[in-house]
Structure 1
Amino acid sequence: MQQAGELARWEKAEIERSANEASGTDPDGLCVSDFNISRYMNPPADTPFPLEYAYHLLGDVRGKVVLDFGCGNGENTLLLVKRGARVISMDLSQSLIELAKRRLELNGVSGDVTFLVASAHNLPLRSNSVDIVFGMAILHHLDLALAAPEVRRVLRKNGKAIFQEPVRNSRMLRAIRKLIPYRHPDVSPFERPLTDQELADFARGFAGSSDKAFLLPYVRLAQHLPIDRKRVRDLYHLDARVLRRFPSLNHYAAIKVMELVK
């Protein structure tokens, strides 16, 4: 757990990173095709794509209060509204909140959505006020010891939290990465891939938890090579089959989707 001064520096770095991300965002990129929207309306349980699987776990959210936890530029806010949720779209960055608002306008999407600039470490929400916390690639930006009790606090009894996070369990890979001094401008000094142990620690205090692994290293590699997109999609399907057949390989997966129940 971070001390107050260190936490302030942590969040300042995240705000600066987010401002850099927002300034580099092409407004045309905020428009979402009907095809991409349709992918997340009712994805199957056996989808090989981690984000689709997270949306599968949502179930029927019509009329439910869903906290888009670290909403960024509103990609998930738009989809949650389209699925009929009552959305609280929260982010630490005012710049990204403005982009999220703009995204909904450009796509002609309206609904029950509230935008909130706030820290995930100290949510300005009533206890037991949220049905679902939906956090896509947010936990690895946070002090988990501070964020976990806040997620539990705002969730209603039997409410659930769904997270998709980058993981790096291999000590060798972590050591190699530390030797590489380059850091992308969109990456803050504090964010990092998580480990299975960190996710397990975060899940403590919840009544139930489960997770699913995605993306073995060869899929990540293929994403950065000049390979036809259909072949990359085929690798996702192969990846799902391999992880089902050899669950011990989950340790080397790059993405985990986790569901927690209060």
Structure 2
Amino acid sequence: MQQAGELARWEKAEIERSANEASGTDPDGLCVSDFNISRYMNPPADTPFPLEYAYHLLGDVRGKVVLDFGCGNGENTLLLVKRGAKVISMDLSQSLIELAKRRLELNGVSGDVTFLVASAHNLPLRSNSVDIVFGMAILHHLDLALAAPEVRRVLRKNGKAIFQEPVRNSRMLRAIRKLIPYRHPDVSPFERPLTDQELANFARGFAGSSDKAFLLPYVRLAQHLPIDRKRVRDLYHLDARVLRRFPSLNHYAAIKVMELVK
């Protein structure tokens, strides 16, 4: 757990990273195709794509209060509104909140949505006020020891939290990454891939937890090669079959989707 001064530096770095991300965002990129929206309306349980699986776990959210935890530029806010949720779209960055608002405007999407600039370490929300916390690639930016009790606090009894996070369990891969000094401007000095143990620690105090692994290293490699998109999609399907057949390989997966129940 961070001390107050260290936490302030942590969050300042995240705000600066977010401002850089927002300044480099092409407004045309905020428009979402009908096809991409349709992918997340009712995805199947056996989808090989981690974000689709997270949306499968949501279930029927019509009329439910969903906290888009670290909403960024509003990609998930838009989809949650389209699915009929009462959305609280929260981020530490005012710049990204403005992009999230702009995204909804450009796509002609309106609904029950509240935008909130706030810290995930100290949520300005009433206890037991949220049905679902939905956090896509947010935990690896946070002090988990501070964020976990806040997530539990705002959730109603039997409410659930769904997270999609980058993981790096292999000590060898972590060691190799440390040898590469380059850091993209959109990456803060505090963010890092998590480990299964860190996710397990975060889940302590919840009544139930489950997770599913996605993306063995060859899929990530293919994403950065000049390979036809269809072939990359085929690799996702192969990846799902391999992980089902050899669950011990979960240790080497790059993404985990986790569901927690209060």
TM-score, structure 2 length as denominator?
A: 1.00
Taking the aligned partners of 2:182 and 2:100, their CA distance within structure 1 comes to 29
DSSP 3-state at the match of 1:233:
helix
Residue pairs, 1:48-59, within 5 angstroms: 48-59=48-59
Residue-by-residue CA offset, 1:108-150 (whole Å, 9 max, x unaligned)? 0000000000000000000000000000000000000000000
Residue-by-residue CA offset, 1:81-125 (whole Å, 9 max, x unaligned)? 000000000000000000000000000000000000000000000
Taking the aligned partners of 1:60 and 1:222, their CA distance within structure 2 comes to 34
Match of 2:180 in 1: 180
Taking the aligned partners of 1:24 and 1:175, their CA distance within structure 2 comes to 30
Residue-by-residue CA offset, 1:226-250 (whole Å, 9 max, x unaligned)? 0000000000000000000000000
DSSP 3-state at the match of 1:198:
helix
Greater Cα shift, 172-181 or 18-27: 172-181
Taking the aligned partners of 2:176 and 2:47, their CA distance within structure 1 comes to 32
Identity %: 99
Deviation at 1:179, TM superposition (A): 1.0
DSSP 3-state at the match of 2:121:
coil
Residue-by-residue CA offset, 1:24-47 (whole Å, 9 max, x unaligned)? 000000000000000000000000
Deviation at 1:172, TM superposition (A): 0.6
Residue-by-residue CA offset, 1:172-197 (whole Å, 9 max, x unaligned)? 11011111110000000000000000
Moved over 3 A (4+): none
Residue-by-residue CA offset, 1:179-224 (whole Å, 9 max, x unaligned)? 1110000000000000000000000000000000000000000000
TM-score, structure 1 length as denominator?
A: 1.00
Taking the aligned partners of 2:181 and 2:240, their CA distance within structure 1 comes to 33
Taking the aligned partners of 1:64 and 1:89, their CA distance within structure 2 comes to 14
Residue-by-residue CA offset, 1:26-73 (whole Å, 9 max, x unaligned)? 000000000000000000000000000000000000000000000000
Taking the aligned partners of 1:180 and 1:226, their CA distance within structure 2 comes to 23
Deviation at 1:169, TM superposition (A): 0.1
Give the number of aligned pairs. 262
DSSP 3-state at the match of 2:109:
coil
Taking the aligned partners of 1:49 and 1:103, their CA distance within structure 2 comes to 23
Residue-by-residue CA offset, 1:3-22 (whole Å, 9 max, x unaligned)? 00000000000000000000
Match of 1:24 in 2: 24
Taking the aligned partners of 1:137 and 1:39, their CA distance within structure 2 comes to 19
Taking the aligned partners of 1:78 and 1:97, their CA distance within structure 2 comes to 12
Structure 2: where are the runs of 5+ without partners?
none
Deviation at 1:260, TM superposition (A): 0.0
**Superposition RMSD in Å:** 0.2
Taking the aligned partners of 1:19 and 1:185, their CA distance within structure 2 comes to 10
DSSP 3-state at the match of 1:156:
strand
Taking the aligned partners of 1:261 and 1:185, their CA distance within structure 2 comes to 35
Structure 1: where are the runs of 5+ without partners?
none
Deviation at 1:151, TM superposition (A): 0.0
Taking the aligned partners of 2:178 and 2:222, their CA distance within structure 1 comes to 23
Deviation at 1:75, TM superposition (A): 0.0
DSSP 3-state at the match of 1:163:
strand
Residue-by-residue CA offset, 1:149-178 (whole Å, 9 max, x unaligned)? 000000000000000000000001101111
Taking the aligned partners of 2:52 and 2:28, their CA distance within structure 1 comes to 23
Taking the aligned partners of 2:138 and 2:88, their CA distance within structure 1 comes to 15
Taking the aligned partners of 1:180 and 1:112, their CA distance within structure 2 comes to 44
